[in-house]
Amino acid sequence: MTEEQPFKVVRRYDGFELRRYPSHVVAEVTVRLPFEQAGNEAFRSLFGYISGQNRSRTSVPMTAPVVQSAGAAQKVAMTAPVIQHESDEGGYAVAFVLPASLTAATAPAPIDPKVRIRTVPPSLAAVARYSGRWSLDSYEHHCSDLLTAIEAEGLKAVGTPRFARFDPPFKPWFLRRNEVVVDVDESSGPTS
């Protein structure tokens, strides 16, 4: 079974959960490609890294999600999704959340200069889960719905929303688990 990034559900709302994510470490690559192609392109370098193409030639277990985000290459939180976000140079940052047992100091050093290891600070985030294709249209639709729901609950979104995907590409699109994740201002929501 694939390890998933740990979190604690703080509160459930209509259409989303408010989650507390602990600090975690990611392996991240930035690519200058459209949304639908960025994850696949970055996956090659990231998969190489966890498959032993690193200085210690150590395999690192795959986690979920893979996270992809747009905007400044910034605080991206996740372990078992891949995280994707657009960098301020254009393109997207795509990240594998590394197993919770690893720190930035204990993670194998990458050989590929495109792969960066970094620590993501703890965060409070609103998360909406959905199934379907890994398309920009689908992501933007669910992201818009999440941002509207957050505002309706009196919460304040901060930072860049992220796309998290949990399943391999061969899984039928209608069964895929996807999430939109956006950090929330700590002072605008519950603290427990």
Q: What is the pLDDT of residues 36-93, one digit of tens each?
A: 899 889 999 999 999 999 999 999 998 999 999 874 433 333 334 444 444 445 689 9
Name the DSSP letter for residue 111.
Answer: S
Q: Using CA atoms in the order 163, 165, 169, 172, what is the torsion angle rounded to 10 degrees? A: -100
**pLDDT number for residue 81:** 46
**Residues contacting residue 110 through CB under 8 Å, at least 6 positions apart:** 27, 49, 53, 54, 55, 116, 117
Q: Select the more confidently predicted residue: 157 or 74.
A: 157
Q: How far apart are CA 79 and CA 73, in angstroms?
A: 17
**pLDDT number for residue 70:** 77
- Rounded average pLDDT over 154-171: 92
**pLDDT number for residue 98:** 96
**pLDDT number for residue 36:** 85
Average pLDDT taken over every residue of the chain: 88
Q: pTM value?
A: 0.85
* Residue 112: band (very low, low, confident or very high) from pLDDT cuts 50, 70, 90: very high
Query: In which element (H, E) is residue 137 found?
Result: helix 136-152
Q: Does residue 35 surpass a pLDDT of 80? A: yes
What is the secondary structure of 16-54 as a DSSP string? EEEEEEPPEEEEEEEE-S-HHHHHHHHHHHHHHHHTT-B
- Rounded average pLDDT over 7-16: 96
Fold of 1-192: Multidrug-efflux Transporter 1 Regulator Bmrr; Chain A (3.20.80)
* Residue 189: band (very low, low, confident or very high) from pLDDT cuts 50, 70, 90: low
**pLDDT number for residue 78:** 35
Task: Give domain limits for the chain.
Answer: 1-192
Q: How far apart are CA 150 and CA 100, in angstroms?
A: 28
**pLDDT number for residue 91:** 82
